[in-house]
Structure 1
Amino acid sequence: MTLQRGGPLIVPRHHAPLARALPFRRAAGELPSYTSGADMIDERGWSVVLGDRGFGDVLLALGLVQALADGTGRDAELHYEGPRPRLMQRCRLPLSTSLTEGPHTVYTRHGKGFTFHAIPERPQAWLDILDDELVEVHAALPMRYYLAAEQALGVRLPADRAPLPTFMSTERARPFHVVFVSATSWPSRKDYGASGFARIAAVLAQRFLAAWTFTLITSSDAEPMAFDGVKVLAGLDAVDCLDVFASAEVVIGNDTGLTHLAALTERPDGTGPHVIGLYGRHAHTKWTTGRARHHAIATTFSQMLALADRCPVRDHLDDAMWSQSASLADLPAEVIAEFASDLAGWW
């Protein structure tokens, strides 16, 4: 089991994951090799097909949209079309929106000369050499997209890390409010389980006397459930989840799109909740926003994937081959509660 705090990932070289070194020292101010990419794409316009797979894939692919917006003229008018216009209207990236049944797509109004498809299995992790001993690991999927675009455009982009735009809420934090996210695309393999989240709530309530409020967000097709002291919200739309997340001090959830959205939630004062993602069968260093308040608790299998930069989809890896090493059920509720309390400063 691995506990990983959010923010920059700087490690000794001998602890670095298997990844290529950037061809330029980015943190030291070196620039990518010049190409004519930025000028060509700016002139003809662009579109990014975010896909129609999982919600998390779509959110993390906004790193590619942000890269193109940063590198080809920030004044270009952008438009989103797809099934979630209400959510995208809350995005910090200025977008006009329209509702369509096709894939999520963002494009420049003046043209779609170049089309980019955000496919999460493709972009690789990068190591930025800091000195003779240390490297910064750029493994988060949004930054993989961002650095790939930076080298294709041939211009230095402004974000040092965590390039994703945030999503706005008017809600403010309520002390000792904890939100759990059990919704997932694969309940049998990627769900800590409602009863597991209820155990975390019980541990928190037992260890520290406070006016706790616990909320559990589940999918619309989840079995009806009830737990003492836990409010259950079933099938909540993502845009409505924003306000629930903003009201929480801590969000704890499966490795899923709603948990990523929680890490991108921004309150009126610029803050947001601490978010702990629980990772079983995907690399915790990749499937993250990369933001400083997006943390991880990962199984042994997840850590193996992170160090080898492997993908179970692309590389056809069945986590069942590694016995219980990918089981979220083996992550102790006591450890999760302790980590959450440490992040929030409760005890």
Structure 2
Amino acid sequence: MSSVAPPGVRFHHGSAVVPAGAVHTTPLGYDRGSVPIGAPLPLIASAELVHRLSGCGEVVVAFEGKLGDTLLALTGVRAVLDWLRLRSVRTSVRAVGPYAGLIARTGLVTQPPVTTPHGRRAVIGDRAGIEAHGSEAVVSLVLDPAAPPCWSSDGRAHPDLPARHYLALERRLGIRLPGTAPFAPTLATGPNNLVEELRSVGWLGGLTIAAITATSWPERKDYTAQRYIALAEQIAEAQQAQARLLLIGGAAEDGFSVSAEAPRRHVQVLYLDGVPADQLADLFRTAT
């Protein structure tokens, strides 16, 4: 929590510099900017973790829980794979679970898989994913969003979860990894039938705003469709334009449904329920 910044909610990109004095932080333990990539850190690595990972021929990425936490935790997977590459350890990487298609878009999964030199397996994921797929693993890494602290180094804080996951594993693995802010892997996009259909009927032209209304904790985190609509109306009025608002809901009873409201003064609203997570990467790319 900030003790210096003025009150209010602010959003910033992961590469934005946040001074260490503005938030409560845990010192990283080394000046990261002065340590060459691949060099040992002035910290004691987790010897057992290093030993077990060094002998793995396969990495399984297994997330079964919340989509948002999954996307933010993928930097932990990236940290392990960066370390394996620096150590010249050849592994195959595959994703399992409901987000396998989305994770494959990050470039973390090997396509096609490399030849696995032996059967020792590492599983990286959330607790549910580890429980489902980690029974035969030689090492399991749980990426818990509540675990890594807000690190600080070189006078800079790293408050976002992607940086916190990545740097926590860098410390445990004991060498300077190549990742830099914002640390998170990017999602590749491609042709998408839903996007093309929406574009053909005029929903993706001009000022387009997309928002996710689905939430795993509606009693605490539900911003509500009406508040998104009110926000879109303010944006459209300020831009002196007609806005198209795409409201992405959770799974529909019939799998996937699309419905439109009657046009408002400044906003046209389209409800999209049950869109698969891997297709959202293509859809959100079209938003303003």
The answer to whether the aligner puts 1:226 opposite 2:235 as a matched pair is no
1:68 is aligned with what amino acid?
Answer: V
Name the structure 1 match of 2:182. Answer: 162
Name the structure 2 match of 1:144. Answer: 164
The answer to whether the aligner puts 1:4 opposite 2:11 as a matched pair is yes
Q: CA 1:83 to 1:19, structure 2 compared with 1: closer, same or farther past 3 Å?
A: same
Name the structure 2 match of 1:73. Answer: 85
Name the structure 2 match of 1:217. Answer: 248
Question: Any residues of structure 2 matched to 1:302-321 within 5 Å, and which?
Answer: none
Q: CA 1:10 to 1:169, structure 2 compared with 1: closer, same or farther past 3 Å?
A: closer
Q: Secondary structure at the match of 2:190?
A: coil
Name the structure 1 match of 2:4. Answer: none
How far is 1:170 from its partner? 2.4
Q: In angstroms, what is the RMSD of aligned CA positions? A: 3.2
Once residues 218 and 52 of structure 1 are traced to their aligned partners in structure 2, the CA distance between those partners, rounded to angstroms, is 19
Name the structure 1 match of 2:285. Answer: 246
| Count of residue correspondences | 234
2:178 is aligned with what amino acid?
Answer: P
Q: Secondary structure at the match of 1:122?
A: coil
Once residues 234 and 41 of structure 1 are traced to their aligned partners in structure 2, the CA distance between those partners, rounded to angstroms, is 40
Q: CA 1:93 to 1:47, structure 2 compared with 1: closer, same or farther past 3 Å?
A: closer
Q: CA 1:48 to 1:62, structure 2 compared with 1: closer, same or farther past 3 Å?
A: farther
1:199 is aligned with what amino acid?
Answer: A
Question: Any residues of structure 2 matched to 1:213-292 within 5 Å, and which?
Answer: 213-220=244-251, 226=261, 228=263, 229-249=268-288
Once residues 12 and 83 of structure 1 are traced to their aligned partners in structure 2, the CA distance between those partners, rounded to angstroms, is 37
Q: CA 1:57 to 1:91, structure 2 compared with 1: closer, same or farther past 3 Å?
A: same
Query: Which residue of 99, 115, 139 corresponds with 1:84?
Result: 99
Once residues 62 and 11 of structure 1 are traced to their aligned partners in structure 2, the CA distance between those partners, rounded to angstroms, is 22
The answer to whether the aligner puts 1:93 opposite 2:105 as a matched pair is no
C-alpha offsets along residues 278-299 of structure 1, whole Å, 9 cap, x if unaligned?
A: xxxxxxxxxxxxxxxxxxxxxx
How far is 1:230 from its partner? 0.9
Name the structure 1 match of 2:221. Answer: 190
Once residues 137 and 13 of structure 1 are traced to their aligned partners in structure 2, the CA distance between those partners, rounded to angstroms, is 4
Once residues 103 and 270 of structure 2 are traced to their aligned partners in structure 1, the CA distance between those partners, rounded to angstroms, is 27
Once residues 168 and 13 of structure 2 are traced to their aligned partners in structure 1, the CA distance between those partners, rounded to angstroms, is 22
- Could you tell me which runs of 5 or more consecutive residues in structure 1 were left unpaired when the two chains were aligned: 106-110, 250-347
Contact 1:47 1:114 survives alignment (8 Å): no
| Structure showing the higher strand proportion among its residues | 1
Once residues 59 and 144 of structure 2 are traced to their aligned partners in structure 1, the CA distance between those partners, rounded to angstroms, is 14
Once residues 238 and 12 of structure 1 are traced to their aligned partners in structure 2, the CA distance between those partners, rounded to angstroms, is 34
How far is 1:47 from its partner? 4.5
Contact 1:48 1:115 survives alignment (8 Å): no
How far is 1:9 from its partner? 4.6
Q: Secondary structure at the match of 1:5?
A: coil
Q: CA 1:227 to 1:119, structure 2 compared with 1: closer, same or farther past 3 Å?
A: farther
How far is 1:86 from its partner? 2.6
Query: Which residue of 1, 21, 25 corresponds with 2:27?
Result: 21
Contact 1:64 1:146 survives alignment (8 Å): yes
Contact 1:126 1:138 survives alignment (8 Å): yes
How far is 1:187 from its partner? 1.6
Q: CA 1:5 to 1:60, structure 2 compared with 1: closer, same or farther past 3 Å?
A: closer
How far is 1:12 from its partner? 4.4
Q: CA 1:94 to 1:210, structure 2 compared with 1: closer, same or farther past 3 Å?
A: same
How far is 1:211 from its partner? 5.1
2:174 is aligned with what amino acid?
Answer: G
Q: Secondary structure at the match of 2:164?
A: helix
- Could you tell me which runs of 5 or more consecutive residues in structure 2 were left unpaired when the two chains were aligned: 1-7, 113-126, 131-135, 196-203, 254-258
1:244 is aligned with what amino acid?
Answer: L
How far is 1:40 from its partner? 5.2
C-alpha offsets along residues 68-90 of structure 1, whole Å, 9 cap, x if unaligned?
A: 10001275220112123332332
C-alpha offsets along residues 42-70 of structure 1, whole Å, 9 cap, x if unaligned?
A: 23356566543212222222111100100
How far is 1:216 from its partner? 1.2
Q: Secondary structure at the match of 2:85?
A: coil
How far is 1:238 from its partner? 0.8
How far is 1:221 from its partner? 5.2
TM-score by length of 2: 0.70
Q: CA 1:140 to 1:28, structure 2 compared with 1: closer, same or farther past 3 Å?
A: same
Name the structure 2 match of 1:58. Answer: 70
Q: CA 1:159 to 1:203, structure 2 compared with 1: closer, same or farther past 3 Å?
A: same
Once residues 116 and 177 of structure 1 are traced to their aligned partners in structure 2, the CA distance between those partners, rounded to angstroms, is 39
Contact 2:233 2:243 survives alignment (8 Å): no
Larger radius of gyration: 2
Once residues 84 and 171 of structure 2 are traced to their aligned partners in structure 1, the CA distance between those partners, rounded to angstroms, is 13
C-alpha offsets along residues 118-143 of structure 1, whole Å, 9 cap, x if unaligned?
A: 22221122111x2xxxx211122222
